[in-house]
Structure 1
């Protein structure tokens, strides 16, 4: 997206060293953000129902705990809207530093919260408030971390470069589960008294590392060119309005990621509770999460690279279909209460479902929007899907499971239905927007090379 005035002014090429630094900063920052955000997911499934909802029955306490989990996901689109706007207006880098700082403060404060036995109903109220802050922060994080890698990289490597930001999620999960699992080895009374708090307090250290890495990287060259172009032409654009002018693109982004978050909820929160109720010890479950998170991160990077070769939609479609097919075996295996079977179920799902669904997602969504509204558009599509698939689905899965007294029929119906719906939406989007998305990729190549004037990008 370039004017003739800017077309003759080539963009400065990102050096290999700087590119590695940008990718590393995106990965490390995402690890820290998702360590904080997903530490809460793990704790809400295994700990918070006993500490913050102790006046409820075990089933009601679990549902209430997962309800606070949903609040964070509901806040994510708000974060995407707020920080997406400022990321498109003032720059990607500064926004990423702010979101990381917000997340770190909220997570550290959770580590010192009083429980319901100490302050009554004030405890869950404070927990929900801090969860909202977490949701707003992570809502602004994902788009910026992916865009920095996307906008520093040549188009033929977009999938591989952006996959590292995605891989920060399961890496953060693995570290969070490992930290919580380590302290879960304490005697039960000590773990529920103070042991669970330490992983939350460690966030302060991790955030310091993440901010240091992000302060050392350069701003996106495509963003700088777009701002220069707008100044030279005297333009003032509202990013949200630019996105809403082509709502089909935003709807496609939502449906493309809905299956990803729904299947992630199956393994990330509902699966943990189900495995525990099937007889597995908490420390064993967290150990499986650690190994699964590492394999999932490697799978995301691999499928990000695969998407550069075979296309984003084919890779995403593969993940949607495998998610629908593997949901039943996954529940069967973790329902046995056997450690090896549960480990096999998690590895199978993480590698062949989460990997192809999240690995190419950063590149796929970034390619759908213009540079001037890319942060806003990609963030809103991704975070809206996270609200429904990541926030409300765990609650729905737990409720359906409870309504059937442990039956899996309705749970499977929901999971398979979402997978098929997302695959159909992706196929329809591919059939109606192939030419536009090809034009976007071509424009991205010209933007980076700066060699020829560009047509106005079209949302695909």
Structure 2
């Protein structure tokens, strides 16, 4: 088997190591964000906004949750440019440290009763730091695994990162459920802090793995082409991505609307709605999310591999439509209060339909940009979508529920997000057969037999 130039390791070994690094890093990113979302739904409103009405306190807690997303586009620009200019590896080591430290600090943050108004202020600052680091993390992890992976099975290679998301959902919800078994007084005093502090374990593991990852062949080839004067280096990769691929940039933003919206509707707003509005037990809802996440871990590689066979867009669009159609049954099943039906509601929504969007998305977004603008274009466009869709969904959904008094308003809002995604996918190119390991400044080249839009990648 041929070896690479990096310490004699084979390309297959590097691909496996890159996949594991993507998996662990993404698991840390989403563990950080989802553990906060679960805490916001269950306890943070009482600890950091105790003077507010319970409903208003929940909205305030979700508002600090949304704040983390405001910093993500900035992180996408800064960290994406760093990854495209100096390499994927160094940037990914930085992001995992930023996010892990911010999460751990939330775990030792004094509450409102201890330091007054400074408690929610510091909470917002740490959420902003989390968001900045997350702005480059997922895109960097995906690009690392896709560029190192088998180019005939990029969908499967890209599945490592979204599988990290699924495991993070499982871990964050499961860990919170474990500490909720404590007496209420102990949980309020210190139990809620432990899930945040346990993020340090993932930080150490992810850091050690990423330190020993080699740069990707695509990045090294593109860098060598620039040094040889074959192509001109981009001073600001994110601006080059916008200039060279404006349509694809908008496709990423639009495609995120449904996927990111549903990512937070089920495990964050769904949990809050079931416990606060319907009075279902926290144990039941968290168990439902845990089971759904376990199913999701198996569904992601299946849908990712299927996208290697039939294309990214059909699988993605199918997942968006199925998720929307399932939303009304989801709410109706929650209203029954039946344990088994509640679990079914979460499992089909979060565990089966949603992964059909998440799984092909990783490779698809990476394939839409050229090598030297791939990370920054991917990261910035993706995080703009995060702000517009998922970041504010728990807040908007809670406000809509309070306004309408019924979940139909939430369904209508999510239907709008889904329509945006379907339009974006309709205008986007199919990239399954694109050649992304090319040094040309024009970016990835499509197999002309695979798409009716031969100039789509060069708009």
Say if 2:389 and 2:417, in contact at 8 Å, map to a contact too.
Answer: no
Matched residues in 1 for 2:53 and 2:442: separation?
61
**Which residue in the other structure is 1:131 paired with?**
127
1:260 Cα deviation after fit: 0.3
1:14 Cα deviation after fit: 5.1
Tell me the alpha carbon deviations over residues 215-266 of structure 1, each in whole angstroms, 9 at most, x when there is no partner.
Answer: 1221111111111111111733120121111321111111111110111221
1:316-395 equivalent positions in 2, closer than 5 A: 316-395=316-395
* Aligned: 1:235 with 2:227: no
Matched residues in 2 for 1:265 and 1:442: separation?
31
Name whichever structure is richer in helix by fraction: 1
Measured on the aligned residues, the alpha-carbon RMSD in Å equals 1.9
Matched residues in 1 for 2:315 and 2:10: separation?
28
Say if 1:274 and 1:335, in contact at 8 Å, map to a contact too.
Answer: no
Matched residues in 1 for 2:82 and 2:207: separation?
18
Match of 2:88 among 77, 89, 92: 92
Secondary structure at the aligned position of 2:317 is classed as helix
Say if 2:294 and 2:351, in contact at 8 Å, map to a contact too.
Answer: no
* Aligned: 1:144 with 2:143: no
Say if 1:106 and 1:131, in contact at 8 Å, map to a contact too.
Answer: yes
Say if 1:79 and 1:136, in contact at 8 Å, map to a contact too.
Answer: yes
**Which residue in the other structure is 1:76 paired with?**
72
1:459 Cα deviation after fit: 4.2
Compared with structure 1, are the counterparts of its residues 443 and 454 closer, same or farther at alpha carbon in structure 2 (3 Å cutoff)?
farther
Tell me the alpha carbon deviations over residues 374-413 of structure 1, each in whole angstroms, 9 at most, x when there is no partner.
Answer: 00111112111111111112111110100112x1221111
Compared with structure 1, are the counterparts of its residues 454 and 155 closer, same or farther at alpha carbon in structure 2 (3 Å cutoff)?
farther
Matched residues in 1 for 2:458 and 2:279: separation?
49
Say if 2:74 and 2:135, in contact at 8 Å, map to a contact too.
Answer: yes
Match of 2:98 among 81, 95, 102: 102
1:297 Cα deviation after fit: 2.3
**Which residue in the other structure is 1:6 paired with?**
none
Say if 1:322 and 1:352, in contact at 8 Å, map to a contact too.
Answer: no
Aligned positions, number: 438
Tell me the alpha carbon deviations over residues 102-124 of structure 1, each in whole angstroms, 9 at most, x when there is no partner.
Answer: 11110111011111111111100
Higher relative contact order (CA closer than 8 Å, sequence separation 6+):
1
1:454 Cα deviation after fit: 9.6
**Which residue in the other structure is 1:7 paired with?**
none
Tell me the alpha carbon deviations over residues 141-188 of structure 1, each in whole angstroms, 9 at most, x when there is no partner.
Answer: 001100011101232211111111111112112111111111100111
Matched residues in 2 for 1:230 and 1:32: separation?
34
**Which residue in the other structure is 2:185 paired with?**
189
Secondary structure at the aligned position of 1:219 is classed as coil
* Aligned: 1:46 with 2:42: yes
**Which residue in the other structure is 1:309 paired with?**
309
Unaligned runs of 5+ in 1: 1-9
**Which residue in the other structure is 2:407 paired with?**
408
Secondary structure at the aligned position of 1:418 is classed as helix
Matched residues in 2 for 1:263 and 1:211: separation?
30
**Which residue in the other structure is 1:260 paired with?**
259
Match of 2:110 among 114, 129, 143: 114
Say if 1:159 and 1:307, in contact at 8 Å, map to a contact too.
Answer: yes
* Aligned: 1:37 with 2:33: yes
1:129 Cα deviation after fit: 0.5
Compared with structure 1, are the counterparts of its residues 207 and 86 closer, same or farther at alpha carbon in structure 2 (3 Å cutoff)?
same
**Which residue in the other structure is 2:21 paired with?**
25
Matched residues in 2 for 1:102 and 1:295: separation?
30
Moved over 3 A (4+): 10-14, 453-460
Matched residues in 1 for 2:37 and 2:458: separation?
34
Secondary structure at the aligned position of 1:128 is classed as helix
TM value normalised by structure 1:
0.91
**Which residue in the other structure is 1:55 paired with?**
51
Matched residues in 1 for 2:166 and 2:73: separation?
21
**Which residue in the other structure is 1:4 paired with?**
none
Say if 2:102 and 2:127, in contact at 8 Å, map to a contact too.
Answer: yes
1:189-228 equivalent positions in 2, closer than 5 A: 189-228=185-224
1:292-307 equivalent positions in 2, closer than 5 A: 292-307=292-307
Secondary structure at the aligned position of 1:443 is classed as coil
Matched residues in 2 for 1:456 and 1:270: separation?
39
Matched residues in 2 for 1:51 and 1:456: separation?
50
**Which residue in the other structure is 2:426 paired with?**
427
TM value normalised by structure 2:
0.91
Say if 2:255 and 2:420, in contact at 8 Å, map to a contact too.
Answer: no
